[in-house]
Amino acid sequence: MKFISKTEIFIFSTFLILCLFYLHYLTSLSIININYINFLKPRHQNISHCGRFPLLVDLNISDTNWQVTNTSNGTFYLFNAYYDDREGLQNGTVIRILALINKIDPIVKTFCQMWFDNLKEPEISEIYEYRMLWPKYWGVNDKGASPYLISCKIPQNRTDQAPEFVSLTEDRCGFANNVMEVKNKRPKNGHKKHFLISVKNVEFNDDVSMLLIEWCEILKILGVDKIEIFIVKAHQNVLKVLEFYQTEEFLKIKFIKFPHELPNRADQSWHQWSQNDLVPYHDSFYENLRLYEFMVPMDVDEFIIPIRDEDRTWQDLLKRTIEKSKSKNENFDAFPATNRYFLLKSSHQNETYDGIPKKLRFLSNIYRAFKATPNGGNAKTFMRMDRILAVHNHFPFSCIGPEKCKSFDVSLEDGHLAHYRTDCDNPECKESKLNPTKDTTLWKYKEEILKNVNETIERIKNFRKP
């Protein structure tokens, strides 16, 4: 009988651990899922006359979220792909690929290899547009990689079917080192929901659990259907709160990393850091294109609030705003809400109010700047998902024919963006400190907020991630 030596046990154990780590790594990759595996099975040995469905070993994956393709005119960091069949598109039904590219206005000819469910070979379509998602007059990012939507048309003989996967290649029939599942979500009952919020690239280093609970409960009352939040890193208590709301199907967590080759910190490159924000916003927008009527990019220290007593939800506010817009005899793509600062550091910061714990940041701070931020500065916008092509933190960049978006402002009599800042040094913030005005609009929801927050805190105490 042969005994296994300690060395052999050590080697076997090490091999097993490495296999488990590799398996964990594979399952963390956004591309590796059951759809990819099932699609690969009948194709991995197929001898194609043009292209080949990429194997796992073919893929050039960077930092979990990205697939990297080096072309003769720049490096493409590919994030996700989406099916866009909205009415009014100039080029008909198209595939959009969200990417970072380290060239301004790339000129390289590239192709989409589209993989359909019932075909073993790809349909080929030339890329017709690289749409930069950042206006050049804000400055170019010549030391990093700028965000783009890369678009290719669905072939005329396939417009009744969405491809399952797409690859981008410089050689029309070349073997690709990337493959993306084409996002094409549809409402289960055929009806869109109303409001999606997208929160970009947050780093929750501190425990802001209470802030998030109060914020989420306020948004629920206002009629928000879903929050998508992109996490760079998070305190463990914050993550527990977010996971709780995810199990409630009110929130979706998306972990995100950016390519390590790029200068991603604000102190390394302001342009790269700012442009990275546009990746999560466009991912939320295009992945949920057919599921919601409006998307609102937002941060966790703010929300749009209806001011009139009779308006309690965003639906009430938008109904009133859209009715007012009819006097212009135009169709509007977006409805911005003007920013007003509520500063936590002010002459009233130590005041307390009966029945409202100081730990509730929004309910307990009722002094804001008398003047609103001028010229639409820091506004947040209800963006129509059936009309918009490119979005920004504060407003849409471009729309479906005509290209220039048309906006109609939410009246300050009807609603505003309540923006709760610890401190800031721009002119309206200074004005807020010198001339604050009392605003208890949020208190019309006070009892409901207090009840819901307290109940949620108790539920989270006993919450265990499934």
Cis status of the peptide bond prior to 402, with omega within 30 of 0? yes
The architecture of the domain spanning 193-461 is Alpha-Beta Complex (3.90)
- Report domain extents, the chain: 34-183, 193-461
pLDDT at 160: 85
Question: What's the pLDDT tens digit per position in 366-388?
Answer: 998 888 888 888 899 999 999 99
Q: How far is CA 415 from CA 89, 91, 198, 303, 304, in A?
A: 32, 37, 20, 10, 7
Enumerate residues 6+ apart whose C-beta is below 8 A from 462: none
pLDDT at 239: 96
Place of tokens 């002459």: 347
pLDDT at 464: 85
pLDDT at 8: 57
DSSP state at residue 419 = E
Q: Which of 278, 257, 297 is nearest to 141 (CA)?
A: 278
The H or E element spanning position 251 is strand 251-255
How far, in Å, CA of 459 to CA of 238, rounded? 15
pLDDT at 14: 61
**226-234 and 251-255 beta bridge pairing:** parallel
Q: How far is CA 117 from CA 35, 82, 97, 399, 438, in A?
A: 11, 16, 19, 31, 60
How far, in Å, CA of 298 to CA of 281, rounded? 10
How far, in Å, CA of 39 to CA of 22, rounded? 22
How far, in Å, CA of 243 to CA of 460, rounded? 10
How far, in Å, CA of 428 to CA of 168, rounded? 47
CA 389 to chain centre: 14
Which segments in the chain show pLDDT lower than 50?
1, 19-22, 24-25
pLDDT at 354: 85
pLDDT at 32: 64
Which sign does the torsion angle of CA 435, 420, 412, 307 carry?
A: negative
